[in-house]
Every structure is written in C-alpha cells, then in structure tokens.
Structure 1
C-alpha cells in the first residue's frame, strides 16, 4: 500500500495568533465558539482570556466581578440563555425544565447587572439593556405562560420592568392581563401580617405581585387618553442606578431627596367590599365583576416632596424590627419626611414619614406613612424597580394604617421628577 501523506494543518493556523485573534474579534461569539470546537488547536487559541473578554464586552456591560470573571463561561451562559428562551415557545423545543430555569435566571442576572447611569444625562447606553431588550422582543418569552411555578418570579420581574410595553397593540391580551391583575390586587386576602401588607413572600420580594401593581396602573392610565396622563418611565434602561433626574448628596444613596410623582389607584369602597365579600352585583371574587357597568376604579396623581431626617425625628414606628428584615451592610437605613398633596386637593398636605433600606439581594425597599393632623392614615410598602435612584422609581401597595380585616388596599407607583 502506498504510504499515506500526512495532512497539512489548515492554512488558517499558519496565521500568527495575534492576527487570528483580531479576525475572531470581528465574529459573533457563537461563531467563535464553533471555530474553537473544530479542533484542539483552535480550542487552544480560542481559550485566550483577552479574546473572550473582548467578545464579552462587545455585547455586555462590565460585570461587577470583573477581576474574577470567567469570560468564556459567562459569555457561553448568556448565548445559551438567548438560544433557549427563543426555543421555549415552540412545542417541539425539547427544552428541559432545568435549562429553562437556568435561561430565565441568566436573563435576570443580566438585568441586575445593567450599568449605572453615574448621575450623568449623557451616560453611554447600557449594552446589557440593549441585548436583553432584543432577546425579550425576539423570543416573546414574557408572553409564554410558565409551566414552572419557580420560574414565575423570574418572568414577572422582567415583566414588571417592561410594564406592558411588549403589548402595545394587543387589546385582547391587555384586557385579559388587566382583569387578572385586578383580581389579585383587590383581593384583600393577599394582604396580611406575614407579608407586611405588601408585595412580599416572607422576606423575599413577590415579583408577581409587583407585576400586577404595574399592570393595574398602566392599564388605568391607558384608559384615559384624553387626560394625557404621563405613564411613569419604564423599560430596562429606566432601571439603571441614578438615572432619575436631579442631584443627590453622598449620604443619600437611595436618591430620596427631591420631588416625586405618585399614582394611586383604588376601587370605590362599596365595590371593593362587594368583590371580596359578595353582594348584589356579583359573586365575591368573580373576574366578571370588573366587566359590570357599575364598577368604579379611580387613579389619582399625587406629588411628594421628601428630605432626609435623623432617625430620632421619626414620629412613626413601623415595627419592633426597624427595618424589618436583614439589610445590606454597605448601605445604612435612611429616614425621610416630607409632604404629600393631591392635584385635585391642593389644600390638603398630609405629612409623610418613612424609611428606605437595602435588602441582602441589593434591592431598595421603602416603607412610609401619611399623617393628617399627626394621626397616621395610610401606610405604603414599596420596592425599587431596578437599582438605587432608578428612573423607574418604586411600586407597591398602599393600605390603611390600622390593617383591619376589611380595610381597603390598592396599588401605587412613584417616580422622581425634576424639581423644576
């Protein structure tokens, strides 16, 4: 038999390593990964940290663990998440529960690592926000009902940030979402001491509850186009730290001080009572209740003016544990006071006092109470939508200060505005 002539290595491997890296940097990470998997030599060259770091930073913001980041692993996880969520809506996807959960968790991590705005109006756009926004639009993963209860918190956190912006022209879907959200928000069984009468699951944030809060506010505002009411800033870019207008002092890490606008929605109390406990109009807690012509719901715009105060000036004590859950060691609890006034009731200016603290997951939580003639009337539990000082502000639940069995409750959404 004739002797076999040894195969020559592909010509591409005759290219100097530095030139080959520059060529690969012009490619999509998926193509680079495919090239690196073709042979041992390609994998050796492709594993260079510089190459994968540059590919990562071409698509994403600098991660918080930049010094210890495993660039190729992090990039591969995000590329896999993009592929998997785009497959999730197909019946023949063959996607395992573990893969879907990992993909959704990765998307939430990307959202949580969106770069700060750095108190600058000309800050560069966030690459994390741009990439994630494209993935959510392309995959429509937020339109797909999750078959896994553990996934709902991931999906609903992203839905909360998007605030129905993916449903602009889908009237039937909006109607269904609005009814579902109202049924949850105005069900008084969802407010009790165990969740501090707010959007919580024990010590954790209940993103499903927050998603319903945002849905009710947005759909109520959309129903009144003639009034030209502004919808609060929303979307992934609005979750960036310190993207809200105005300056802040170094100690004000939460961006408390300044002027805020706040929407509050509420049912007519007779309707709220009938929905929860039954009545002439409908069976209690029936979704069809909200289709009744006699049903009434209102949304009011309120202005808050807040400033920081020492803890000893607080006249309201929220609980024996103040704040009620473990806080982040790098962020001291802030206490604030101010005034509140409704646009239609300018002669009434209740005093507001509250606190904001950072939980161990790095999310600011707000508690505040309004008082009329030194008497507490309404309390509010809110969660920052994004990072501290985000343009999107905070959303949550207001309720009566006494928290009796049949006291009213409803959603609110507050965001900081220019003092001008």
Structure 2
C-alpha cells in the first residue's frame, strides 16, 4: 500500500518560508489565519515579509529601518480600499492613509535592475503598481480631488470663502490631496460625473492672484514656515498642463511630464542614457547631489498684462479669506531651453537642511519659439538647496545686459534628480506688488537630445481628428468663431507642407505663426511680458 501523502504542515520551516515568499501579500495574510503553525511562521517574521514585499515592489535604498511587515500590510489595505470602492461610494475618511502611503511608495521607488523589477514591465515596480491602482479611474480620482480648488468648484459659488481659519486637519488633508495629484502628474482638466466642469479657470485664478505672492512665501509655492504649498503647486500644474496640451498636443517631450501618471515622480528617476564615468566629470559635478548641469526644457506662461491688472486690481476690498472667481482669460506660453552649469558649492545655511549643500549655477536661457521677443534670451544664475523639510528648492534670476530682471522660485517634484522636474512661479526681481507674475516649470532634457529637433517631432498634426481643434481651443472653444473640421484640415495641410519643405532654422517662425493663427480663431490675446 502506497504511503499517504504528507501534510503541508509537515514541511520544514525553510520550505514553508519559500512557499509563502512567492504568494501575494493578501494570500500571506490569509495563510496566517489557517493554523497556529502558519501564524507563528508569518507574524513578526521580518525576513519573510521583506521577501513578500520585494517580490511585488522595488528594492528601496537604503533599506535600513523599514518595517517590512507593516509596509506589506499597508499594501493589502490599500488594495482593499481601491478594489472595494469600485462598486461603492468612496470612503474619503481614508484620504490621509491613501495619500501618505502612496507618497511613501513613491519615495521608495527605484529603477534598480533587480529580478523583482523585471516582472513589472516598468522601470519602477512601485510606479507600475500605483498606475495599476489608480487605473480604475473612480476611486483614485476621488482622492485626487479633495484640495481647496476642487472644493471651490463643488461649492458652485463664484466668490468662494476659502477660510483662513480652517482647522489644521482639513488644511492638512487638502495639502495631501494636492500633493498626490501633483505627483500623479496628469492634471485633472475636466471634473464632475459628466466631466463638464473645467478646472483650468479655477487654477488660473489661484496662480495669477497677486495676493498669493508675498515676502512670507518668497513669492513662490511655499508656506510661511518654508514647507511646500502643494495646493499652489497643484494649480500651477493644471495651468501648465492644460496650456501644453493646447499648444503641443501629442508632443513626446511634454507627454513624459504631463501625460504619464506617476512617471518619473521619484528621487533619482532621471538617469542619463549614457551616464559619464567619474573621471569624465569635473569636481563640482561629482559633488553636486542635485544633477544641475545640463540642458533643461522650460515652460513660462503669462497673461496679457491688461488681463492681469484687471483681474487683480479692479475689484476692491476682497477679503483674504475669499478666493478670487474663476478666470476665463487666454494665456501666452513660451518654450525655453536652459543651458546651465554648476559654478560653486557651499555649505548649507541656517534655513537649509544640514546634510545637503547649496549649489550655485550659471548659464543662459534661449527661447525656442519666439525669436522676436526681447525677453526671450538672457543670462541665468541661481541656486539649488534642500529645505529642512527635505524639499528641493530652486531659485533663478534672469539677467539682461547685466541687470537682473525676472526671478523664479520652484520646488523639484518628488525630490532631487526626479524626472518630473521643477514647478514654480516667476515674478519681477524687485517683487513689484503690481506684477506681473505667473507659473513656470522646467525639466531636464535627455543626454544627446537636440531640444529643437525634439520640439519639431512633438508638433504632430492629427489629420482629420476634430479633437486636435479642441486641444488648441481649450476651454473657450464655444466662445470664439466656430471652426469646422474641413477648414482645420486645410490649415493642417498648410502646416504639413511647410514642415516638409522648411529649412533647419524655420521652425521658430512656423510655431509663432501657428500660435497667432490659433489665437485669432479662439479670440485670445497673445501678448505678455517675460519669457525667461
């Protein structure tokens, strides 16, 4: 008679460990409830939970101090929240846990070429996990829409009392939601069950409100205590993302920043294709922890100054506790390339993180799409430093004929060397209380990438696709002259013919003509102050 098969509980502990290590986290948690033996093998076994976590997620660096069991159980809870709410109302009481856990997952993302990451099909298993989690489009979107901007929309009021005395817990949750939305990257431009409400006018109102530019916040996206004002950064991202989609639909260099959920939103995500050896770097670049030297794309948006002035100074006695109404006004957008180089490195100051240096850089900025703008090209200098809250702060000053003219403040989203780049504000160097001021962003170009050629490849005309018209006309598409698809196809043919025959240096003029023609169609102003 053949011997009876042994029971799984008869297996050695080492074998059971290997079995459990190949299960998904939820199954491991369930197994701990099967028997006392399994429970003793699983609960409190940090080595096992580490193996289970790393099968699914990136290998974080450094790994010291991580509570592997708690981190894995948080993944189970996160999955449960998202999957159980697909058919139920979203439980917004979970916002703080969801936001903090997702932010922590991104902070531990990496692209280490480990076995664990090879299964994800992404350069980061953590990013791939979050993309899948938020892919249902219902639960995830709800957690991204809890900032003050979305509360203003939901209120249905033109003049919205935002409340300077809002309880700290509510402010904290608003900031967490805004930060998560910013890390998500792809701005939510249409809101509501029917997606009929545009977020852009509300974001424009917040970004260009001159009351938001003060000495306390350094005229940038900061709070008075030096922490990041993520609600301001969220609004900046919406404004820039909408304008980029409107002017350069389908442009690869922009889609990588504004159209890839969580893409590059982690420390060290930017890695050159051909990373130089240490002996090829000068001493300053070796010591620079921020990856400053190189080519950077930059976007600058601004209102026609008459619109800016009318919005900010014709309405009197608006309380600080009241948000300005949504602003439906056209903006000009400029694309700039910055070539910068580290020139010196200094110890941190009293307001900086003590473990990170202050890096000074110099260089130049050149407009890629407006060769006739006197403000388009300038010398550039600035600093990069780490705040006490471990946020990377960028400052820059544009110099014309030896005179400082425009300045900017920004935060590098997701930390040093992230591929998401910097979001912030530009303003008058002397902090003129009458402005102008507006949003800006810059992100590093890939090594050996010709920025002008990348821009040309980004200007794709989708032949016969009516959505292309919608991208260009944006929120005001029903306010200007109606344009038929047939008429737009003629316009496309003209552009394609020009693209096929133009010389190397003609792209700037073509882009300017394209912007002017679309501006005429939409009835938008096209003039504005600075572009660097």
Q: TM-score range by the shorter chain?
A: 0.7 to 0.9
8 A contact 1:142–1:155 mirrored in 2 = no
Distance 1:228 1:389, change over 3 A: closer
Q: What are the residue-to-residue correspondences of 1:29-178 with 2, within 5 Å?
A: 29-47=25-43, 48-64=45-61, 66-87=63-84, 95=91, 97=93, 99-115=94-110, 125-138=123-136, 140-144=139-143, 145-146=145-146, 148-164=170-186, 173=195, 176-178=198-200
Output the CA distance in 2 between the equivalents of 1:376 and 1:275: 27
Q: What are the residue-to-residue correspondences of 1:181-330 with 2, within 5 Å?
A: 181-202=203-224, 203-225=226-248, 230-231=253-254, 233-234=256-257, 235-240=261-266, 241=268, 243-245=270-272, 247=275, 249-278=285-314, 285-287=324-326, 289-290=327-328, 295-310=329-344, 326-330=351-355
- Note the aligned Cα RMSD (angstroms): 3.2
8 A contact 1:82–1:103 mirrored in 2 = no
Output the CA distance in 2 between the equivalents of 1:114 and 1:168: 29
Paired residue total: 388
Q: Which runs of 5+ in 2 are unaligned?
A: 1-5, 148-169, 276-280, 316-322, 451-532
Higher mean displacement: 192-201 or 329-338: 329-338
Output the CA distance in 1 between the equivalents of 2:196 and 2:296: 28
Higher mean displacement: 10-19 or 404-413: 10-19
Distance 1:228 1:39, change over 3 A: closer
Q: Deviations for 1:136-155, whole angstroms, at most 9, x for unmatched residues? A: 22363234433843222222
- State the partner residue of 1:335: 360
Output the CA distance in 2 between the equivalents of 1:34 and 1:167: 41
Higher mean displacement: 129-138 or 218-227: 218-227
Q: Deviations for 1:57-102, whole angstroms, at most 9, x for unmatched residues? A: 0112223452333211221123213323555687656x583x4312
8 A contact 1:333–1:358 mirrored in 2 = yes
Would you say 1:415 and 2:443 are equivalent positions?
A: yes
CA positional deviation for 1:268: 0.1
Distance 1:242 1:81, change over 3 A: closer
Would you say 1:402 and 2:430 are equivalent positions?
A: yes
Higher mean displacement: 57-66 or 298-307: 57-66
Would you say 1:14 and 2:10 are equivalent positions?
A: yes
Higher mean displacement: 15-24 or 189-198: 15-24
Output the CA distance in 1 between the equivalents of 2:444 and 2:177: 26
CA positional deviation for 1:24: 2.0
CA positional deviation for 1:197: 0.4
- State the partner residue of 1:379: 407
CA positional deviation for 1:158: 2.2
CA positional deviation for 1:261: 1.2
Distance 1:335 1:116, change over 3 A: farther
Q: Which runs of 5+ in 1 are unaligned?
A: 1-9, 313-321
- State the partner residue of 1:26: 22
8 A contact 1:86–1:141 mirrored in 2 = no
Would you say 1:362 and 2:390 are equivalent positions?
A: yes
Distance 1:269 1:171, change over 3 A: farther
Higher mean displacement: 224-233 or 50-59: 224-233
SS of the residue 2:109 aligns to: coil
Output the CA distance in 1 between the equivalents of 2:334 and 2:233: 19
TM-score, normalised by the number of residues in structure 2: 0.66
Output the CA distance in 1 between the equivalents of 2:424 and 2:196: 21
SS of the residue 2:47 aligns to: helix
Q: Deviations for 1:160-202, whole angstroms, at most 9, x for unmatched residues? A: 1233267799997486221121111111111111111000112
SS of the residue 1:236 aligns to: coil
TM-score, normalised by the number of residues in structure 1: 0.82
Output the CA distance in 2 between the equivalents of 1:341 and 1:23: 58
